[in-house]
Amino acid sequence: MTAQAAVPAPQVPKKKIPIGLVAGLLALIIVLMLPMPADLPPAGHRMIAILAFAVVVWITEAVSYEASAIMITTLMAFLLGTAPTIKNPEVLYGTSAAISMALTGFSNSALALVTGALFIAAAMTFTGLDRRIALVTLSRIGTSTTRIMIGAIAVTIVLSLVVPSATARSAAVVPIMMGVIAAFGVDKRSNIAAGIMIIVAQATSIWNVGIQTAAAQNLLTKGFMEKMLGDRVSWAEWLIAGAPWSVIMSVVLVFIVLKLLPPEADNIAGGKEAVQAELDALGPMTGPQKRLLGVSLMLLMLWATEKSLHNFDTTSTTYFGLVLLLLPRFGVMTWKDVQSRIPWGTVIVFGVGISLGTALLTTQAGQWMGNQVVTHTGLDHLGPLAIFAILSAFLIVIHLGFASATALTSAMLPILISVLATLPGEFNRLGMTMLLGFVVSYGFILPINAPQNMVCLGTETFTAKQFARVGIIITIVGYLLMLVFGATYWRWLGWM
């Protein structure tokens, strides 16, 4: 009896260490080896090194954002833990105090608001209310290509009010718009299809500016305001400041898309009927959808009347809404229903992002970098509008290297707030922070600059080149319009 020949085990290909991770570690080591300025504490020096590592890893996307968050937390624990404290250089922080510092972001109300917002977005998807709202809105628009494009923006605006997640909104709208495109009977690579899908992506970013609860980076900005400036901007104040810009830019967006991607036909029979057919297939509103809509409208009213009819902050009112949605019998979901729909990685990244920004200030690294910026740029000799123009341009350019507005906010906003705190003169630092928070949403040029862009790119209806052609014009017009608003409307509101 012959023995069977041994079958060799399949060779598992070895994964190479990402170049971006190596570059991040080199950036960390290089900064640590640089001569330490006399006015920068050792702990601050190490935090700048950790920031350099984070920026390189985020820009290169060498590892997932969740993995990078854990790496940043570990670096803070050991590098800060072996650094002397600010108050007494003879005493080290110790890893226990350092890891606590690395986790402070998880006790911030902004993180709680983001988590609550993700639950509401999950409830919308679970009950199908987001899809129903989108279809109802589209069914009221019309069948011309221009009307369909306006309808796509209208859907985005409505969902921005009740679905506090840009990615979730895009995920709800894209399948519907693809159905509309199919009903038109046009090629997936037609100008009509490209124009509609580009509008969905760009309008989502435009309305991230206008509505405070529309995007995670806005909530992170709100958290830094409260932590660093001791004040907050209410939901209604943000809307009054940002929505007019978003309305004008929505009109500009449709005009630009129609010019750069002229539709093959002006009117497509069957588009409205296709939407109505999908809406009819859904049947009447279910009980959970009605209750979720009622809670969403209640939250909108509470958010909009903060500081005018009541002093309940946005986070507290949002959690009251969540209690109603999770109540037995009345609620629309259970924990098991939505736990798999929550991107918990986003929560981790958000918390570590707040911790990173807070630690930059606690160790005086943020203040030191702010002083360096002011000293070497001459910002201290400029007026508020010129300061806003320069810092906004900086954020727009650097955003090209970031695939996450949340990561961009975590890395840069604490430094910019420190710059504003260092500058002399009388101007509204809280307002200027909010306006710079608007600019963080400028993910218009590259598809990789925002998750909603990538969702739309996945439909293969447009190319990155088409997206960039529209996005560059949107960026330039939007930037110039913000300067006009800074000189007029926002100055009249007292934000400059």
Handedness of CA 410, 440, 48, 387 (dihedral sign): negative
pTM: 0.82
State residue 268's pLDDT score: 63
Q: How many CB atoms lie within 10 A of CB 180?
A: 24
- Give the CA radius of gyration of the chain: 24
pLDDT digits (tens, 9 = 90+) for 64-81: 888 999 999 999 999 999
Q: Do 108 and 88 contact (CB within 8 A), yes or no?
A: no
Cα 225 versus chain centre, distance:
16
Question: What's residue 1's pLDDT?
Answer: 47
On whether the CB atoms of residues 209 and 441 are closer than 8 A, the answer is yes
What's the CA gap between 435 and 241, in Å, rounded? 9
CB-CB contact of 76 with 355 (8 Å): yes
How far is CA 63 from each of CA 17, 26, 66, 329, rounded to the nearest angstrom? 10, 16, 8, 43
Residue carrying structure tokens 């890395």: 411
Average pLDDT, the chain: 88
pLDDT, tens only, 151-168: 889 989 988 888 877 877
- How high is the pLDDT of residue 315? 86
Q: Of 23, 75, 70, 89, which Cα lies nearest the Cα of 359?
A: 75
Burial 371-388 (b: 16+ CB within 10 A, else e): bbbbeeeebeeeebeebb
Secondary structure (3-state) at 267: strand
pLDDT by 10-residue block (mean), the chain, 496 residues: 53 74 96 92 95 89 88 96 93 95 87 84 87 83 80 89 81 79 76 92 95 90 87 93 97 96 76 77 92 92 89 90 91 87 82 87 88 85 93 90 82 90 89 96 89 86 92 97 97 94
Contact indicator for 146, 196 with CB cutoff of 8 Å: no
For residue 385, give both structure tokens.
């509008």
According to DSSP, the residues that pair with 484 across neighbouring strands are none
